[in-house]
Structure 1
Amino acid sequence: MRHRQKALSSAVVAAVSSALLLTAAAPAPARPAGQGSETLRAIEAATGTGDIARPTAAGEGKAAATATETGQGSVSVTVPSTSSEAVEIVAPDGGKLRLDLPAGRQVQGVTSENGTVVYTGAGRSTDIAVQPTTDGGARALVALKDDTAPREHRFGLDLPEGFGLRPAEDGGYDIGFTADGIEATAGHIDPAWAKDADGNDVATEYRLDGGDLVQSVEHDSDTAFPVVADPKVTWGWGIYAKYNRAETKRMAKGMTKAKYAAALCGFLPGVVGAGCALTVYDSLGSITNTFKNADKAGKCVKMKYSLPPPIPLQWNTTKC
């Protein structure tokens, strides 16, 4: 699928916080029947159910909808009623990240009592499922029913303008942007994983193809089916900014409060504000020492922000 881009708004970056609380749950939906129930059991055995966000009342065209409260507003995850539509994660101002499912057929989703939405027969020898999670994200799962199932599964990503994917240290991908030598991260795709029906790991990896995330699953004659695999996408949990070696060295030399405020807050698109500057002024000594210590050790600095307003919450040295 072609990579679509939408305009970046301040609240795409502002839909962030580290304290997420689930809203009240709706009455328990129906449980999938037949083959769908077998898929459901396999998926929930592989993922567990403790972090699945229980749905609120779902509107027209939705199989499930959840909301998490950030303190500045709700981040919602909407799971579509059919497999041909996209999963949406929406920031408090309406800024969206969309994830397309790897469906070859349009089938109706059925929501389980735990909140897993199953699309039975959405692909060749493949069922698809979605689990909204309590950290403001979603798992998009494939359940491969036999050895005729495809080995590659394509997930289209619709990211805000200016955002892209870059490899993360854990083997997944960070969702973010780069400005003035500073790498800022606003979301994450967890490392690829896959398990067979016996709980054994199955070889799997990601690759990027244009704007799509492609997961390959290398099942073989020893694989016990069904095989469950997924990418998990988290969006709206924080802004993490990593200063490269040159920027860390520059900041370590010391500067006026106003220049520090500009350097620490100015790269955030459209969200420079008095709240960020005020926090920088109050914490300038600690922030300055962190940059100086990092520079002496040949390291870089990573900062966590909560928005809005753009307030630095944590800062520490890290590998460059």
Structure 2
Amino acid sequence: MRYSSITTRDASSKARLIASFTAALVSGALIASSVTAASAQENDPVADAIDEAPLSSQVINEPHESASIDLATGEGSIGADNSEQGASISYDLDSGVSLVITAQDDENSAGAATTAQVLTDNSVRLLTVFTDPDASLTSSYSTEIPEGWTAAKRADGGYDIVPGTALLEGLREDGIDGDFVLATIDAPWAIDANGRRVETSFQLEGNQLKQSIEPDENTVFPVTADPSVVGHGYYFSIYYNKSETRSMRDTGAVVGFILAAGAAIAALPGGVAVTAVLYTVGAGAVAAIATVAGNASGEGRCLKLDVPSFIPTSVKC
């Protein structure tokens, strides 16, 4: 009986020990599973690449958020849209003219994730992370350029959005000349997971902006790249002949000439974008223009008006 009693108690203890050990195993498995899931979430390569991208400290919106800020020049805004329809960036002017670039969700962007970002330096970008070295290493973006304007490739591989031939010729016929750059698509860049530069280039085919990366044997994925857009507004000059300069000694004539120039430009393809800036001249600028026009006329010189600063200058003519 003693032996039997001892065996019964021993068996009961053994059962409790097994149950306790089993519970510990289950608990440990759950904890391990939780840790593994948390680690996987913390080690998301796409999220890490976005966080470590150049200028990430200047980004004002989270990857899943949309944002918009007013331009420092006060003539419009820049925005980043992250919605169910995809990621896009825009440069919108108060005149109604805008440049929009949208990431394309097709075979050209397989193995890539894209997010739209607004930066504090008045620029916007589509940050694309290439995750699969065996997928297509070209991302495609639909580009909407305002009517009358065109994209001119820069020496650094980026693009300037400038007046098309019709708009440019019309502006010059109205005595308006200078550098007309609505916005710039900055030179392309790409870096790998170790921060090494990766060869990359842009190609604009119709309305499709394509960015291709060319990794080498040392490239570590994921690779991060982007098209960035910087809005410039308008920088140009209006040249007036001697007769016009003499007339512009009167402030009323100054306003009249500026309004006339605006109306003429508005009739050109895409001209409304430039016209909007002409209509922003203030009373103080008008008085300064009239003063310089008077001095220029007295010296047999002509008036040059820089826009959008509305700084008048006396020049030879």
Residues 78 and 131 of structure 1, relative CA distance in 2, 3 Å threshold? closer
Per-residue CA deviation, residues 226-248 of structure 1 (Å, 9 max, x unaligned), is 1111110123x42123x7xxx9x
For normalisation by structure 2, the TM-score amounts to 0.60
Query: Which amino acid letter does the alignment assign opposite residue 214 of structure 2?
Result: E
Considering only CA atoms, is the larger Rg found in Structure 1 or Structure 2?
A: 2
Q: Per-residue deviation at 1:169?
A: 4.8
Q: Which range is displaced more, 164-173 or 196-205?
A: 164-173
Q: Percent identity at matched positions?
A: 22
How far apart are 1:185 and its partner, in Å? Answer: 1.0
Matched with 2:245 is: 257
Aligned pairs (5 A) from 1:148-159: 148-159=134-145
Equivalent residue for 1:45, pick from 48, 52, 68:
52
TM-score of the superposed pair, with normalisation by structure 1: 0.59
Q: Which residue of 1 aligns with 2:211?
A: 215
Counterpart residue number, 1:99: 101
Structure 1 residue ranges (4+ consecutive) displaced by more than 6 angstroms after TM superposition: 252-255, 258-264, 285-288
Q: Which one-letter code corresponds to 1:202 in the other structure?
A: V
Aligned residues of 1:53 and 1:66 also touching (Cα < 8 A)? no
SS of 2:52's partner is: helix
**Number of aligned residue pairs:** 237
Partner Cα separation in structure 1 for residue 295 and residue 218 of structure 2: 56
1:230 corresponds to which residue? 226
- Offset from partner CA, 1:95-133 (integer Å, 9 cap, x none): 43221103239xxxxxxxxxxxxxxxx942211122112
**Equivalent in the alignment of 2:310:** 312
Distance of 1:44 and 1:304 partners within structure 2: 41
- 1:161 to partner: Cα distance: 1.1
Q: What are the residue-to-residue correspondences of 1:19-30 with 2, within 5 Å?
A: none
Structure 1: gaps spanning 5 or more residues: 1-32, 56-61, 106-121, 293-300, 316-320
Question: Are the counterparts in 1 of residues 246 and 293 from structure 2 also a CA contact under 8 Å?
Answer: no
Between stretches 140-149 and 91-100, larger displacement belongs to: 91-100
Higher strand share: 1
- Higher mean alpha-carbon deviation, 129-138 vs 148-157, is at 129-138
Counterpart selection for 1:173 from 146, 159, 168: 159
Residues 1:187 and 2:183 aligned together:
yes
Which ranges in structure 2 are unaligned for 5 or more consecutive residues?
1-39, 249-253, 266-270
Q: Find the residue that maps to 2:182 and give its secondary structure.
A: strand
Asked if structure 2 preserves the Cα contact closer than 8 Å seen for 1:196 and 1:227, the reply is yes
Residue correspondence of structure 1 range 69-88 to structure 2 within 5 A = 70=72, 72=74, 75-82=77-84, 84=86, 86-88=88-90
Q: Deviation per CA, 1:3-54, whole angstroms, max 9, x where unpaired?
A: xxxxxxxxxxxxxxxxxxxxxxxxxxxxxx8399421221332223232134
- Equivalent residue, structure 2, for 1:239: 234
